[in-house]
């Protein structure tokens, strides 16, 4: 039996940067080439969070409306990341456009799992067996969200955690006793990794610096400059 899966990454993407995509790429490579037995990654989804949450967290001064950051993500996928990303990663708007407001990441993953398996297995019979939904997140998110471990106990759910510079690895080493929690330690990349974040990019437009600017996508730079009048 082939272990098919899809990846999903949630968050504000306020604004989007390369690590959002490199995390998914690193998880894909790990699942298909390191995981034993390997898992076949069919697709990846970037799922921006609803405005109600992002605006309440960041306020008017830093918030980017959902329509805008979905569009920025789309532009990056099509124009800057190339076929390595655009061939299998797309923006999922269901979470950000949900009419009832903010939905936290656990039901987002579960609803995606149910929708895909109902469509691909039950209705259209394109897949013989149910696929897994793998929640891809960075180590800092895993360390501060204990509910991630509980969610992997659900049927056809898993989590892939990607190493992040400066984050403690004790919890993830313990958690990987579960077969549904996979750690991507990036041992061969650690000497070149940056610790870029959306927060750093937002701060750049308050206080520009040469260290951050090269990591900002051109469309994001243009948008942020216009929105925040740098």
pLDDT of 161 above 70: yes
Helix (H) or strand (E) holding 224: helix 218-228
Q: Which tens digits make up the pLDDT trace of 93-130?
A: 999 999 888 988 888 999 999 999 999 999 999 999 99
Q: Is the pLDDT confidence value at 132 over 60?
A: yes
pLDDT for 170: 96
Rounded to an integer, what distance in angstroms lies between the CA atom of residue 50 and that of residue 153? Answer: 26
Q: Is 40 helix (H, G, I), strand (E, B) or coil?
A: strand
pLDDT surpassing 80 at residue 229: no
The CATH superfamily assigned to 4-189 is HUPs (3.40.50.620)
- Give residue 104's pLDDT: 86
pLDDT digits (tens, 9 = 90+) for 32-49: 999 999 999 999 999 999
pLDDT tens-digit map of 2-21: 799 999 999 999 999 999 99
Mind listing the pLDDT tens digit for each residue in 175-214?
A: 999 999 999 999 999 999 988 899 999 999 989 988 899 9
Bond into 15 cis (ω within 30): yes
* Alpha-carbon span 28 to 39, nearest angstrom: 9
pLDDT of residue 1: 67
Predicted confidence at residue 106, as pLDDT, reads 85
Highest mean pLDDT among 22-31, 56-65, 96-105: 22-31
Q: Is it the case that residue 230 has pLDDT exceeding 70?
A: no
**pLDDT (average), residues 207-228:** 92
Q: What is the C-alpha to C-alpha distance for residues 51 and 57, in angstroms, rounded to an integer? A: 10
Predicted confidence at residue 99, as pLDDT, reads: 87
Gap between the Cα atoms of 180 and 189, Å rounded: 24
Helix (H) or strand (E) run with residue 171 in it = helix 170-175
Question: Taking the complete model, does pTM exceed 0.85, yes or no?
Answer: yes
Residue 227 confidence (pLDDT): 84
| pLDDT over 70 at 75, yes or no | yes
Please spell the DSSP secondary structure of 142-168, one letter per residue. Answer: HHH-THHHHHTTSTTEEEEEE--TT--
- Interatomic CA distance for residues 100 and 202, integer angstroms: 28
């Amino acid at each position: 039996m082939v272990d098919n899966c899809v990846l999903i990454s949630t968050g504000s993407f306020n604004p989007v940067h390369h690590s959002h995509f490199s995390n998914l790429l690193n998880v894909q490579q790990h699942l298909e080439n390191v995981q034993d037995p390997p898992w076949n990654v069919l697709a990846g989804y970037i799922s921006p969070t609803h405005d109600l949450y992002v605006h309440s967290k960041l306020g008017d001064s830093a918030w980017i409306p959902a329509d805008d950051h979905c569009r920025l993500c789309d532009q990056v996928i099509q124009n800057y990341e190339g076929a390595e990303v655009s061939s299998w990663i797309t923006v999922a708007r269901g979470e950000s456009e949900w009419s009832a407001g903010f939905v936290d990441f656990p039901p987002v993953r579960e609803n995606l799992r149910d929708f895909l398996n109902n469509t691909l297995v039950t209705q259209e019979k394109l897949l013989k067996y149910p696929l897994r939904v793998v929640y891809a997140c960075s180590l800092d998110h895993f360390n501060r969200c204990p509910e991630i471990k509980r969610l992997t106990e659900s049927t056809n759910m898993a989590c892939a955690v990607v190493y992040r510079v400066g984050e403690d690895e004790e919890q993830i080493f313990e958690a990987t006793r579960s077969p549904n929690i996979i750690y991507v330690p990036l041992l061969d990349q650690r000497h070149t990794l940056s610790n870029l974040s959306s927060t750093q990019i937002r701060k750049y437009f308050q206080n520009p610096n040469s260290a951050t600017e090269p990591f900002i996508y051109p469309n994001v730079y243009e948008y942020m400059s216009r929105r925040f009048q740098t």
